[in-house]
Structure 1
Amino acid sequence: MRESPNIPEPMRKTTILTRLITGLTGLTLFACLSFGSDFRETPLTQLAQNEDASPESSPVENDFLFDYLMQEVKLHYTEGRLLALEADTDAVQYEFEYMLASMAAIEELDSLGPDQRGYFTSMARLVQGDFLPYLDQERKNMLANLTFREQMMQQEASQAAQDGEDEFVVLDDRDGHIPLVLNNRVRSIIKFLQTKRHAEFQTWMNRYAKYAAVIRPILKENGVPEELVYLALIESGLNVNARSWAQAVGPWQFISSTGKNYGLDRTWWVDERRDMVKSTEAGARYLKDLYKEFDNLYLAMAAYNSGEGRVWRAIRLEGHRDYWRLRTLPKETRSYVPTVIAAAIIIRNPEQYGFTLPAKEMMEWEEVAVSRSIDLDRLAQAAGISYTTLSTLNSELRQGVTPPDMTYKLKVPFGYSGKVAAVINNIPTSNKEASQIHRVRTGESLWLIARKYNVTVTNLVRANNLRNSNQLKVGQKIIIPAPGSAPSGRSLSTQTTQQLPVSTYNKKVYVVKRGDTLGHIAERYRTRASSIRRWNGLSYGDNIYPGQRLTIYQKKSDG
């Protein structure tokens, strides 16, 4: 077992009272998360989204799948807290992995309402804060999923923005461009990027050199300033795979509903929010609409961050339209525009600020029409193309294959279309599109069907367009998507067993008797029911039956 983190000795001596207090604390935390703003601190970004939401926003109670997955998070969270008190680091990390798997599945859900996004974001931050000290480096890296915009929310410049007397130096005020000014807020953020985020910002400048020649012409063609490329830089670091806790995806960080409004499709096979060209076109149209609405680029960018309604309310409340004097905007939004300006200033003269801007690349590609489902890795190998290059050019493909039942325009490196056309007919159709049909039997639930076929409940619901568990009827045909087609992430429907070292634990096999429950067995062996489930690959809610053989571990000191 790994060395446990430094925990004060009294915390290692877990008592019944400690368990009770911890359990009540967990229940209090979940009550705070579940029952509204009277009990929890709502994130600033979520405040804007909540206030802008229409009455039709989908509430948590109407989405059974969200509830199901969030319940899994809660169960593993509570168990992990108890295990942390016992300094059982291996077991804590096990619970953490299942929390992360459930949260990854939640991130894949469509059309989460503002309340659900806020609830999920709060829970994610709670998990991150409570479990980080107990994780090894690999698992700590799993938590490093904050977008740059979210990191900026946590940085000191956001808190130290100057609101008093401020000197404005105008660096660029040309028509058709973002006005670049230097003031206290911009200076503090430039300093922050130079010192505490230097390596990270340099990485994003490298990506800027790669994608600028693609993005800037699209912005110009849509009649918006080319400097808005720096807005995408701050949103995501120009990472096509960027995903925030708030469900925003891609270089322009669209949530599903806004992306759909601007023509970005999201299906089992593609997520156009991750396509650099399509998402930039959508981002340009959205920003153009915001500029028409506010007739001011600073206010348009602020609305991109916090929503139009939030900006209009600040304007009405304060009686002016000067972005720099709008005190009632969220702190994130008040730092957002200065951060975009800071990025623009640095990239104009990177050496002055200690950065290096590589020579701009020209991303060139050709398109090949593909009318069936083909694995990108097989195509790359057959055509002599780097798989990384091919997948980057087609970053919108979620399953690593071209979609079936449609003609898909596959991007290939410039000069390779002939070679791809010559080999593509010899590549077999991907088995990821294969599916099965299951007829619902008496007593079956979505969870049981998902477990039987080794697929996730999320994928089962999405493949069948289900909205609530009451839709299942005996004899109903359910499409079972191929297990290989599941999005990246650990399957929630297949539990793995955990084995403990024999040097520390005695391994026993218990044969279940009539009338036994996991709770009774756990009490007999001085352990927990959740541990028995973990050791035997049982999911929460699984039944045990007479004659079943269960593996039980006992610490050797316990006999």
Structure 2
Amino acid sequence: MPDFAVLARVSACLLVFSSILLPANGQAQSRREGVAAQTLAERMDAAESRYREALVKVGNNDPDGITESNAALEDMEDVVTACGKQRGCSVPRMLATYKRLLKAGADARAAGDEADASLADDDDLPTGNVPDAASAASLLSEDGERFVRMVQFNPAVQAGIRRWLTDMRPSLMDSHENYQYMRHLMSPAFKRSGLPEALLFGILAKESNGKAHAGSRAGAVGPMQFMPATGRRFGLGVDATGFDTRYDPRASADAAAAYLNERFAEFGNDIEMWLAAYNGGEGRAARVYREFGGRKFWDVDVYNQFPPETKDYVPMVIAAAWLYLHPDEYGVRFPKVDARPATFTLERPASIYELTICLGNSGSRDGYMRALRNLNPRYEPDAWIPPGTVLNGTARLANLYERRCAKGERAELARQLVLSDARGALVGGPPKKPVEPPVSTFTPDASKIATTVATGVPTPPGQPRVHRVSRGDTLVSIARQYACDAGALARANGLEGPRYAIRSGQRLRLEGCAN
């Protein structure tokens, strides 16, 4: 928010300035002087309007708001300086603009103070309702007193900050970069529910590092790591195309917001208990909450009811959230990425692997594979995606695709690398020829044609064909040969990871293969 203290200081300086530079003796103005003075007055009015519009943007979390408000203030200062030099121009009239803005700022702050006071007086909120936007957002806001105390006086959270800033700093940076690409998909759910965005980031960083396809040994998957049963409760699971929506950033954020609001209804303002339930199970958290009469998470008897993983999880999420809000205080410079959302349409068959190679890493240290996968979670990285498919990306990605991937030397090089087969290096065996991806005639409209598993690969009509395994074949090489998804091929033939062992002479059903 623009600092109204700056307005006050500028106003005081201009008051002194006006006493020095006011035109003396009420000298008559010429027509030209009157026009010049009126022009300055109009400039001041326009700058005030721009400043007020900028404040609206700031209130709506528009990143341009701060820049525009500062520019408007600079315009006002320039006008007052010019007014002091222009005969017939009234500096006190210009100064009235600053007074109006100061009063507006004071009124806004007074209203905010009243809201904060009413919240502070209501420590025992009823647990039967989800929080409204104002009260929930204040729980973990940048200037929230409770969160400040938590960081300043809780050694567990301080230790979490230390870990994020040392051996886990790369994970923190990766989480932030990954989140920027998905922010437009995930943050609206938390804002609609009155939940702080910093909490979303903290959970995301600890759960998945912002990787949409992350999975745990226990079976939790997706950017917010939902277990199958919990996911189903909140609308997540396998859809009509076979895609598990737990991997979808927007859907998983919607579910996480609903889950946390449900925990608010159960535990009130105890954010730590929300997080303990998120990690250690809501059943355990509810039992502990009941047995210990609603005592807080940091009460030693309550704390010791949770497993070590949860004891570590809670302060680490809070620490990541705090760093998201206050990076400068800890010398953190999060990577800046151009994450403006945009789409682009494939002009020829491609895979995420091929696109990653031809796009390069201009503007990104690690390239765009993670961004492509996060924004298009239904496609496996080695699956051929038919032409005409609209992929989600950013403005930069759309531009790079047209320049490097639609056609040209870089596109051909990427395709050659993706189609390469290591068996081609062997001497004396049958020649291995790179298999070109098919020019698909399938429509990408999922409502018109059945699709297989989470890749969205169209299922050709008729019975699936069969491949007889030869010596040297691997599941991946067969999948590339027939332009199908290796994971789908394994599932269709009952092969289990991680080795997906196949034997010479075995017949594999080529379900979902387009070639």
Please classify the TM superposition score into its range, dividing by the shorter chain length. 0.3 to 0.5
TM-score, normalization by structure 1: 0.42
Q: TM-score if structure 2 supplies the norm length?
A: 0.45
Q: For the pair shown, which has the larger CA radius of gyration, 1 or 2? A: 2
